[in-house]
Structure 1
Amino acid sequence: MFVSSPDQGTALCTPPSPSKPRRRRPVPLRLQGIGVDPSLLVGKVLRRLSRSSKHPTLTLDFSDNTTFQILVDGYDPVHRGLPKELEMDSSLEQLLNTPTKQALVEWTIEDCALITLTDKAFESREREQRWDQNHSGVAFRFSEDRMWHCVWATLTDHDDGTCVFRSYDDVYIDQLHRSPRKRRAHVPDSPIDLR
Structure 2
Amino acid sequence: MATESPPASGNGLAVYERFMNTVRRACATPEGRATLRQGLADHLENPWPMYVHLMPAGGIPVREDTPRHSLRQAEHPFLLVAALYAVHDAPNPRAGDKPLAVKEPAAAKPWENLGWSLARAARSGMRREVATGLLSHLCELEYDALMTELPSTVSLLRSSNVPVKWPVLLRDSVRYQRWAPDVRIDWARSYTIPAGSKEIS
TM-score, normalised by the number of residues in structure 1: 0.28
Select the structure of larger CA radius of gyration. 1
Q: Which has the higher contact order (CA 8 A, sep 6+)?
A: 2
TM-score, normalised by the number of residues in structure 2: 0.28
